[in-house]
Amino acid sequence: MKTTVTNNPKIAAAFIKAGEIAAFPTETVYGLGADAYNEKAVKKIFKAKGRPVDNPLIVHIANKKDINVLAQEITPSAKKIISKFFPGPVTVILKKNEIIPPATTAGLDTIAIRMPAGRLAQQLIKAAGVPIAAPSANLSGSPSPTNFLHVLRDFNNKIPCLLIGPPAKYGLESTVIDCTGKNPVILRPGSVTLEQIKKLDKNAVIQKKGGKIKSPGQKYKHYSPKADVRIINVKREMSNVKRNEAFIGLDRNLGKGFEKVLICRSMNDYARKLFSFFRECDDEGIKTIWCQKVAEKGIGAAIMNRLNKAIH
């Protein structure tokens, strides 16, 4: 099939309304969307990505009022997060209403809801007139796409439509927060940090490693380039330039001696560029990518989460 590439959200919305899938930009990463109410359309997303059917999708809305339609109840912890961070790079998990077909939530009785801040994403959802179920627009297992070229790389002529926009502002997927219980539990760290959520709810926590997996996506290997990913903390002794080895991080000294080097200006910059660096390294035949370890504070928790997933 030929992919219609457009910068007009109305054109992409027509595909969604017709029960087709369309990729679109958000401020976190690009998504691959379908009408969240249309089971057949949602199944096309799983097929295109090669995504395991037990991995539920996030439902994207353009109006906070839609949460009442999708969820049974907006818990007190969800209320605070929604009023502070919607629209933005945050997803809340709530008990779902019947209206959502099981394919969208992978049979779970909960639903993940996000209101993206990106202008094009909002225009698309409004024009489609339905909530849009969307995972990241990458082939299952590869790094999330942070610009439209990444989407084309994975899906050119394999999806009917791509809405193009600017590169992702954050470059990492949203913070996923389980709000079904008394206290918020972060299932996937993102650019909205634990520290920020704690200001709303001091009992908020990040789900412990090895705990019962509540977010099915977290059990899969993710975000991984073809190259080996390694975490680097202290300078390695290197006698000569390491061919086919790359470095990404904050410390210029650590990066000395690698064939390809990306020194980031800040932690946010590191987060924004990580996935795109993974893809570039693969395109250039890099065999090993050394990523600088950072403290698991603030956005550092999200960076380390993605790095650890890229390794295992």
- Give the binding site for ligand TXA (CB under 6 A): 26, 28-29, 31, 55-58, 91, 93, 105, 108, 110-112, 114, 134-136, 173-174, 176, 187-188, 214-218
Residue 292 sits in the site that holds Mg ion (CB under 5 A):
no
CA angle, residues 5, 8, 11, in degrees to nearest 5: 75
Nearer to Mg ion, 77 or 174 (CB): 174
Which residue's CB atom is positioned nearest to ligand TXA? Answer: 217
Residue 136 sits in the site that holds Mg ion (CB under 5 A):
yes
Residue of 65, 166, 46 whose CA lies nearest to 107:
46
Nearer to ligand TXA, 26 or 224 (CB): 26
d(CA 41, CA 54): 16
Cβ atoms of 174 and 91 closer than 8 Å: yes
Shortest distance, position 15 Cβ to Mg ion, whole Å: 21
Amino acid letter for position 102: P
Residue 224 sits in the site that holds Mg ion (CB under 5 A):
no
Largest Cα–Cα separation, the chain: 63
Shortest distance, position 24 Cβ to Mg ion, whole Å: 14
Nearer to Mg ion, 131 or 135 (CB): 135
Nearer to ligand TXA, 32 or 289 (CB): 32
Please state at what angle helix 9-17 crosses helix 119-128, rounded to 10 degrees.
Answer: 40
Amino acid letter for position 227: A
CA angle, residues 220, 228, 230, in degrees to nearest 5: 90
Nearer to Mg ion, 51 or 96 (CB): 51
d(CA 70, CA 75): 13
Which does residue 225 bind out of Mg ion, ligand TXA, none, counting CB within 5 to 8 angstroms by kind? none
- Kindly indicate which of the ranges 15-23, 83-91, 131-139, 149-157 contains the residues binding Mg ion, using the contact rule CB under 5 A: 131-139
Burial class (CB in 10 A: 0-12, 13-18, 19+), 136: buried
Binding stretches for Mg ion (CB under 5 A): 135-136
